[in-house]
């Protein structure tokens, strides 16, 4: 059974990832089966297996679970037809009856230190605030405020991770911009926001 397990893990890894017109920081990781197009991912972030990320900016220290879709394409609902045979983008169907231009894709922004749970769908153009949590299976169609927890379909606000004062100070600290050397120094305080902020304020 162990051999089968390791063999299946190897096959999963061998699929590789598809990255096009994108920047992924050297400290970040894209797992196999994931597709990243026209997007940027900053330092120490990762996305799991079988993700699809399009036209998105992803900050530092983000944790994106398996099966997440960010910034997927939209169809023109105000036209006679929404089928891709009437617009000028490459799609599953090759036939074209006309080649109208769709509205430009809206850029999706994921802040820093965001945790996105498994099988989350995030609509294009949405802004996900720094420090926020998106519960697994959520469908996000509206902006999410920093350090908030949302979940559901459609996603709804559950609660803030911290009180307003701590959130304000964490955002002001810009800790995600600290160099690795500085993060090594203050890493021992990361389990306590209060202690961390005291250290930073010194």
**Residue whose token pair is 């004062």:** 165
Whole-angstrom distance, CA of residue 189 vs CA of residue 120: 30
Q: What are phi and psi of 79, to 5 degrees?
A: -90, 170
Collapsing DSSP to helix, strand or coil, 12 comes out as helix
Q: Which of 118, 75, 136 is nearest to 100 (CA)?
A: 75
102 burial level (CB within 10 Å; 0-12, 13-18, 19+): middle
Q: For residue 77, say if its preceding peptide bond is cis, omega within 30 degrees of 0.
A: no
Q: Which of 175, 167, 174, 122 is nearest to 147 (CA)?
A: 167
Q: Which of 25, 75, 105, 112 is catalytic?
A: 75
- Among this protein's residues, is 75 annotated catalytic? yes
Rg of the chain in Å (alpha carbons): 20
DSSP for 142-178, please give it.
S-B-TTEEEETTTTEEEEESS-HHHHHHHHHHTGGGS
Residues with a known catalytic role: 75
């Amino acid at each position: 059974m162990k051999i089968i397990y390791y063999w299946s893990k190897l096959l999963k890894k061998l699929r590789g990832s598809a990255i096009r017109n994108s920047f992924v920081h050297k400290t970040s990781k894209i797992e196999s089966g994931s597709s990243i197009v026209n997007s940027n991912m900053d330092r120490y972030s990762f996305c799991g297996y079988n993700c699809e990320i399009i036209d998105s900016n992803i900050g530092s220290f983000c944790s994106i679970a398996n099966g997440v879709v960010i910034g997927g394409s939209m169809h023109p609902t105000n036209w006679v037809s929404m089928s891709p045979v009437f617009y000028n983008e490459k799609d599953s169907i090759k036939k074209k009856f006309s080649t109208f231009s769709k509205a430009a894709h809206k850029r999706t922004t994921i802040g820093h230190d965001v945790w996105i749970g498994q099988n989350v769908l995030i609509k294009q153009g949405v802004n996900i605030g720094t420090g926020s949590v998106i519960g697994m299976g959520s469908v996000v169609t509206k902006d999410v405020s920093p350090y908030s927890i949302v979940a559901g379909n459609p996603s709804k606000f559950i609660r803030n991770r911290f009180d307003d004062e701590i959130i304000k100070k964490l955002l002001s600290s810009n800790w995600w911009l600290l160099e690795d050397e500085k993060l090594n120094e203050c890493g021992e305080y990361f389990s306590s926001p209060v202690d961390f902020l005291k250290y930073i304020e010194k």
